[in-house]
Amino acid sequence: MIDTTNTKSLETAAHPENLRRVAIEPVSRVEGHGKVTLLLDESNRVQQVRLHIVEFRGFEKFIQGRPYWEAPVMVQRLCGICPVSHHIAASKAMDMIVGATLTPTAEKVRRLMHYGQMLQSHALHFFHLCSPDSLFGFDSDVAKRNIVGVVAAYPDIAKQGVLLRKYGQEVIRVTAGKRVHGTGSIPGGVNKNVSLEERDYLLKDIDQMVEWSKAAVGIARQLFEQNLDLYNNFGTFKAHTLNLVRADGAMDLYHGGLRARDMDGKTLFDHYDYSHYWDEIFEDVKNWSYMKFPFLRRLGPDDGWYRVGPLSRVTQCDFIPTPLANQARKAFMAFNGGSATGATLGFHWARMIEMLHAAELIRELLHDPDLQGNELVNIGQRQERGVGVIEAPRGTLIHHYKVDEHDQITRCNLIVSTTHNNQAMNEAIRVVALQYFDGREITEGLLNHIEVAIRAFDPCLSCATHALGKMPLEVEVLDAAGERLSSLSRSSDGTFSALA
Amino acid sequence: MSDTFHLDGVEVKFEHGQTVLQAALAAGKYIPHLCYHPEFKPHGSCKLCTVKIGSRTAASCTMPAETGLEIESGIEELNALRRTLVQMLFAEGNHFCPSCEKSGNCMLQALGYDLEVHTAGFRHQYPDRPLDASHPDILLDFNRCILCELCVRASGEVDGKNVFALSGRGATKHLIVNAASGQLKDTDIALGDKAMQVCPVGVILKKRIGFSIPIGERRYDQRPISAQALDDAPRKPAGAKP
């Protein structure tokens, strides 16, 4: 395993002048738009590697002044892949604003929606976005390395991926009103229950979904078994972790306290009340990315970065409270002396364990009569501040709002799963660069290795850019020949300076 | 006394005092409209109900029905103009259906669907008018106002309060409230007022309702506006005894 301290120098080259720049733009088969830049010397040795997110959103700004009950519907437009995550995180924050204690029906309908989301998003990632790499090889023929190629070569696997995703979308439609961008979750509860007819419709296929999810865990395991050395070491580095856990230490994707552990497994904090997350988590900005760099305050901006998402959740929870997924977790943790638990490609295996967990939870919930309850909303004493945290498919998602006495939002901060993983993704690609690039001729297949490392995190780049107001910018004026005539830089503290 | 005119070649009976639009709706014939409301005096401002009478065009909500008129309404020439009018209304305001709580209950949106308005057509003006959230129970989002004056008419004619008015001229015309402070909290508006019920878009909103009606149960989820407008139409001429 490569010591991560070796990668620190790769964030910024000591002497960037005269280095050759190679850009991967856009990074493909991820959500949103990003690019990777590499600076190489004349011997093709890597001197600098950066993942840049080049989109900009701005939701925190334009939601100011809007009524609070609009937020759960508006913010989900951040994304079309896991809008339910934002819908529910914002709703949880607004639950605090309206002083709500959810009724059993409201919480269970929301949970069902969230598990449908987890199922469809994980299926999309594993089957549509990643399987071309894992089934054909990282540097296989680029013309076939896509979902169409998978359909041609592995029609059964492709079909299962499509139908698993479809089922998750149907769970969302039943609970939220639409497959994408529904309105089911509202401050203090939900706007509909699940009718018996809707329940029976979903029950019809759930056993098949559990079976296919189980088989998908098997595929993920097989990939490790077939190429142990590659899967254990590819882009692998040690990282601190962050995730929600239930009061008894179980995995809980909807609610819990925050658990942070350092890279050696030592607990930094546990069952931490997220309603004042800012005492433990802070955000740094860098002048080369629109995405912020969150860190654990107690460890500081340089060493406090961490990893969120399926790999952290599966390895750091004490157990998974559904039998098949828990069994799968035990096998994952024990595999080859635990080697997969720290591997970057272990994300895929962990993701499939979570997909199985989501399918089991959906089956369990569908048999719960509370879903047909009629007590949908429960409102209490109004509060000024609301924080909502959930475990979204890609990791911990934080929504934080302040609302004034006229019901208007005055402040909003979103720390999105992919943002938490910003530094971790940069580490992963720097490790891959060290492992594969140094001195070699650059080919498409070699560049895809970088993308494979990014894809392991299932990043959603469109969700992740929230450096509003602190956004560092550089403006360059070039002449017709591309030579720089003048330039101006704005740093993260807002000061301007002319670049040399 | 009953007489007839022809609408798109079909004979429509009318009674004295009815406008073309009133007679058409009472007879089960839909003509698209937005600022017309069966309980209020016709206004003739949105022009969506424009019909062709020979070589002339007229707003059918203000045009008195007359015997023997040959009227065209459901023709592509007029529907294309109606689409343009709807596009202009969308471009003038901040009609962001994805996050608007009136979505599914909004007449402008429903008309857009019914007339198959698929594109923006015009550059959006993105007005930036502050919300009036001063009232404890009522919110005003002026950025969605289409200047139909239904709230003005309801507040004046039914509620007897004159809470709303239009101010300014031409492109600067905008909705105001009748208070020295300019704020809704200083008016005598109440939740039960007629003015609270008539806004066809998402300007006048009861607070904390938001998205509490699920998708599928909102007004225009059920049936298109062309069908629902007929349900609302009085079967007797305005002012006639039941």
pLDDT of A55 reads 67
Q: Across the interface, do A184 and B130 touch by the CB < 8 Å criterion? A: no
**Cα separations in angstroms, A438 against A38, A41, A48, A431:** 11, 10, 12, 11
What does the mean pLDDT of chain B come to?
Answer: 93
Chain B residues within 8 A of A182 when measuring between CB atoms: 215
CA-nearest residue to B129 within chain A is A65
pLDDT of A468 reads 46
The radius of gyration computed from the CA coordinates of chain A, to the nearest angstrom, equals 22
Say whether both A414 and A368 belong to one domain: yes
Chain B residues within 8 A of A73 when measuring between CB atoms: 98-99, 101, 210-211
Between B66 and A500, residue with greater pLDDT: B66
Contacts of B234 by beta carbon, 8 Å cutoff, 6+ apart: B22, B26, B38
Task: Give per-residue pLDDT as tens, A128-179.
Answer: 888 888 888 888 888 888 888 888 899 999 999 999 999 999 999 999 999 9
What does the mean pLDDT of chain A come to?
Answer: 90
Say whether both A445 and A397 belong to one domain: no
Q: Is the pLDDT of residue A198 over 70?
A: yes
Task: Give per-residue pLDDT as tens, A213-233.
Answer: 999 999 999 999 999 999 999
Confidence band, pLDDT 50/70/90 cuts, at residue A480:
low
- Does any CB of chain A come closer than 8 Å to the CB of residue B209? yes
Task: Give per-residue pLDDT as tens, A241-276.
Answer: 999 999 999 999 999 999 999 999 999 999 999 999
pLDDT of A94 reads 98
Query: Which residue among B99, B207, B216 sits closest to A407, beta carbon to beta carbon?
Result: B207
Task: Give per-residue pLDDT as tens, A278-308.
Answer: 999 999 888 777 788 999 999 999 999 999 9
Strands A267-272 and A257-261: antiparallel
pLDDT of B240 reads 46
Task: Give per-residue pLDDT as tens, A72-114.
Answer: 999 998 887 889 999 999 999 999 999 999 999 999 999 999 9
Q: Across the interface, do B210 and A187 touch by the CB < 8 Å criterion? A: yes
Say whether both A10 and A157 belong to one domain: no
Distance between CA atoms of residues A310 and A355, nearest Å: 10
Q: Across the interface, do B211 and A186 touch by the CB < 8 Å criterion? A: yes
Verify cis geometry, omega within 30 degrees of 0, for the bond prior to A26: yes
Answer yes or no: is A272 within a domain: no
Which of A412-426, B74-88, B104-118 is least confident? Answer: A412-426
Answer yes or no: is A269 within a domain: no
Chain B residues within 8 A of A77 when measuring between CB atoms: 98-99
Task: Give per-residue pLDDT as tens, A316-370.
Answer: 999 999 999 999 999 999 999 999 999 999 999 999 999 999 999 999 999 999 9
Task: Give per-residue pLDDT as tens, B153-165.
Answer: 999 999 999 999 9
Chain B residues within 8 A of A188 when measuring between CB atoms: none
The mean pLDDT of B9-34, rounded to a whole number, is: 95
pLDDT of B235 reads 60
pLDDT-above-90 percentage for chain B: 88
Assign domain B2-74 to its CATH architecture. Answer: Roll (3.10)
Distance between CA atoms of residues A446 and A438, nearest Å: 11
Say whether both A159 and A222 belong to one domain: yes
Query: Which residue among B131, B209, B215 sits closest to A183, beta carbon to beta carbon?
Result: B215
Chain B residues within 8 A of A406 when measuring between CB atoms: 133-134
Query: Which residue among B133, B208, B214 sits closest to A191, beta carbon to beta carbon?
Result: B214
User: Which structural domain range is residue A88 located in?
Assistant: 59-240+278-423
* DSSP assignments along B73-131, one per residue: -SSHHHHHHHHHHHHHHHHHTT--GGG-TTTTT-HHHHHHHHTT--S--S------PPP
Q: Name the burial class of residue A412, with classes exposed (0-12), middle (13-18) and buried (19+) by CB atoms within 10 angstroms of its CB.
A: buried
Chain A residues within 8 A of B214 when measuring between CB atoms: 177, 183-184, 191-192
Task: Give per-residue pLDDT as tens, A45-54.
Answer: 888 888 887 6
Q: How do the domains of chain B map onto residue ranges?
A: 2-74, 103-222
Q: Is the pLDDT of residue B58 over 80?
A: yes
Confidence band, pLDDT 50/70/90 cuts, at residue A488:
low
**Domain count within chain A:** 3
Say whether both A314 and A345 belong to one domain: yes
Say whether both A222 and A343 belong to one domain: yes
pLDDT of A321 reads 98
pLDDT of A496 reads 62
Chain B residues within 8 A of A65 when measuring between CB atoms: 130-131
pLDDT of A471 reads 46
How many other C-beta atoms are found inside a 10 Å radius of the C-beta of residue A368?
Answer: 16
Q: Is the pLDDT of residue A472 over 80?
A: no
Confidence band, pLDDT 50/70/90 cuts, at residue A485:
low
The mean pLDDT of A383-410, rounded to a whole number, is: 97
pLDDT of A35 reads 83
Hey, is B180 helix, strand or coil? coil
Token pair recorded at residue B86? 């709807």
Q: Across the interface, do B214 and A178 touch by the CB < 8 Å criterion? A: no
Q: Across the interface, do A406 and B212 touch by the CB < 8 Å criterion? A: no
Between A21 and A321, residue with greater pLDDT: A321
pLDDT of B129 reads 92
Task: Give per-residue pLDDT as tens, B105-151.
Answer: 999 999 999 999 999 899 999 999 999 999 999 999 999 999 999 99
Distance between CA atoms of residues A108 and A370, nearest Å: 7
pLDDT-above-90 percentage for chain A: 64
* DSSP assignments along A392-428, one per residue: ETTEEEEEEEEE-TTSBEEEEEEE-HHHHTHHHHHHH
Task: Give per-residue pLDDT as tens, B215-231.
Answer: 999 999 989 999 988 88
Strands A409-415 and A395-403: antiparallel
Q: Across the interface, do B210 and A408 touch by the CB < 8 Å criterion? A: no
Distance between CA atoms of residues B105 and B200, nearest Å: 8
Q: Across the interface, do A77 and B216 touch by the CB < 8 Å criterion? A: no
Say whether both A118 and A72 belong to one domain: yes
Tokens 């004295």 correspond to: B16
Answer yes or no: is A401 within a domain: yes
Say whether both A466 and A476 belong to one domain: no
Answer yes or no: is A245 within a domain: no
Between A85 and A464, residue with greater pLDDT: A85
Domain B103-222 has CATH 3.30.70.20: yes
Confidence band, pLDDT 50/70/90 cuts, at residue A1:
very low
pLDDT of A469 reads 45
Token pair recorded at residue A314? 């599966």
Task: Give per-residue pLDDT as tens, B168-192.
Answer: 999 899 999 999 999 999 999 999 9
Distance between CA atoms of residues A71 and A60, nearest Å: 10
* Residue A286: φ, ψ to 5°: -125, 150
CA-nearest residue to A62 within chain B is B128
Answer yes or no: is A271 within a domain: no
Q: Across the interface, do B216 and A406 touch by the CB < 8 Å criterion? A: no
pLDDT of A5 reads 55
Chain A residues within 8 A of B215 when measuring between CB atoms: 176-178, 182-183
- Does any CB of chain A come closer than 8 Å to the CB of residue B208? yes
Q: Across the interface, do A73 and B98 touch by the CB < 8 Å criterion? A: yes
Instruction: Confirm whether B2-74 and B103-222 share one CATH topology.
Output: no
Chain B from 82 to 111: CB within 8 A of any A CB: 98-99, 101
Q: Across the interface, do B133 and A184 touch by the CB < 8 Å criterion? A: no
Count of H-run helices and E-run strands, chain B: 6, 9
Answer yes or no: is A252 within a domain: no
